């Protein structure tokens, strides 16, 4: 029986006693860890993964997902370089170990150049600071990986990987959740970005259609792609098909080539309408905040900004759960 749409906590890499208490105080039960700091230069061991899950359970919480392995775990895979088959084997071991340890979701991306932002953050209300991106301020001739990698190459490398890793995930009982390119532009640093549009995600989900493959639906990235209309398009298409595994809920001002992060409620989106769309699409997973503005006297991780965002999202969820579904 489904638990329904609910709040979660994420985007941290160390499971400290303080973090466990903080999650409890926020009123969440579920959490994910982003690139957890674990031993292993090529893969993660079962014992270390089990220890994380057991610590969560000891606090009455659930470790629902690990989002991202270190890029060097599979950079050769993404770029189609010699050594990729060895990396795929290590990734298979990590996924099997996750399944055995009882961690059900692995979030992943296809960005060897990682997330890009432009130096000097934007200033928001009260002097809060938030990341920004402006394509015009970046060198169009920069090559982060020595040469140009075309969209065709990046897709071929993706297919090579998923053909080999998805069956492992299915066998292990682990769901793979694909994150969008951020920023969602066609190319950065000479490396094509193939998950920057609705069409890219549809192609991935159609090509690898499995109950163990879906989307880490990052509303901020979808907002960067084209604002409210694009966000609703993605939710209404992928949600009813059961392809939204979990949600990052953030917003931005502007779109892909020039935008900045912002407080929830001050960006491109009608946040209540977006949350209602998730409900209407049948989404029953967990929702976490994502990048948050840096508030006064905040920590590097953003305890204050995240408390604001989590409270905002908790209220939105509570409201939409009490509203009737629209009649069509």
Q: What is the pLDDT of residues 279-315, one digit of tens each?
A: 999 999 999 999 999 999 999 999 999 999 999 999 9
Mean pLDDT calculated for residue range 36-47: 97
For the chain, percent of residues with pLDDT exceeding 90: 97
Mean pLDDT calculated for residue range 166-190: 98
- pLDDT confidence tier of residue 209, bands split at 50, 70 and 90: very high
The full set of domain ranges for the chain reads 6-322
Residues 6+ apart with CB under 8 A from 250: 218, 219, 220, 223, 261, 264, 289, 290, 291, 292, 309
Q: Which of 5-9, 271-275, 323-327 has the lowest mean pLDDT?
A: 323-327
Q: What is the pTM of this model?
A: 0.96
- DSSP 3-state of 2: coil
pLDDT tens-digit profile of 117-148?
Answer: 999 999 999 999 999 999 999 999 999 999 99
Q: What does the mean pLDDT of the chain come to?
A: 97
Predicted confidence (pLDDT) at residue 235 exceeds the cutoff of 90: yes
Peptide bond into 183 cis (omega under 30): yes
Q: At what angle do helices 219-238 and 271-280 cross, to 10 degrees?
A: 30
Q: What is the pLDDT of residue 1?
A: 35
**From the CB of residue 240, how many other CB atoms can be counted at a distance below 10 Å?**
13
- DSSP 3-state of 62: strand
Q: Return the CATH fold of 6-322.
A: TIM Barrel (3.20.20)
Q: What is the pLDDT of residue 328?
A: 52
Predicted confidence (pLDDT) at residue 2 exceeds the cutoff of 90: no
């Amino acid at each position: 029986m489904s638990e329904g749409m609910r709040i979660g906590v994420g985007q941290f890499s160390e499971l400290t006693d303080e973090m466990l208490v903080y999650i409890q105080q926020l009123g969440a039960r579920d959490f994910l860890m982003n690139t957890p700091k674990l031993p292993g230069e090529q893969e993660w061991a079962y014992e270390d993964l089990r220890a994380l899950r057991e610590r969560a359970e000891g606090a009455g919480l659930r470790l629902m997902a690990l989002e991202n392995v270190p890029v060097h775990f599979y950079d050769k895979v993404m770029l189609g370089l010699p050594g990729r088959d060895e990396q795929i084997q290590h990734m298979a071991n990590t996924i099997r170990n996750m399944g055995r340890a009882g961690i059900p979701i692995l979030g992943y991306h296809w960005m060897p150049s990682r997330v890009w932002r432009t130096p000097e953050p934007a200033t928001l209300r009260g002097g809060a600071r938030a990341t920004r991106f402006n394509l015009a301020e970046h060198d169009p001739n920069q090559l982060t990986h020595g040469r140009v990698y075309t969209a065709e190459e990046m897709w071929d490398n993706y297919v090579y990987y998923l053909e080999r890793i998805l069956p492992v995930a299915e066998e292990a009982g682990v769901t793979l959740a694909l994150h969008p390119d951020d920023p969602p532009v066609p190319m950065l640093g000479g490396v094509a970005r193939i998950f920057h549009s609705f069409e890219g995600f549809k192609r991935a989900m159609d090509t690898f259609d499995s109950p163990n493959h879906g989307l880490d639906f990052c509303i901020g990235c979808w907002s960067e792609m084209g604002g409210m209309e694009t966000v609703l398009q993605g939710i209404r298409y992928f949600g009813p098909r059961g392809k939204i595994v979990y949600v990052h809920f953030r917003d931005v001002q502007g779109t892909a080539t020039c935008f900045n992060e912002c407080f929830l409620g001050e960006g491109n989106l009608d946040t209540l309408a977006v949350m209602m769309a998730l409900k209407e699409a049948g989404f029953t997973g967990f929702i976490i905040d994502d990048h948050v503005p840096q508030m006064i006297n905040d920590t590097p991780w953003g305890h204050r900004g995240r408390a604001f965002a989590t409270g905002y999202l908790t209220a939105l969820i509570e409201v939409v759960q009490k509203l009737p579904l629209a009649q069509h």
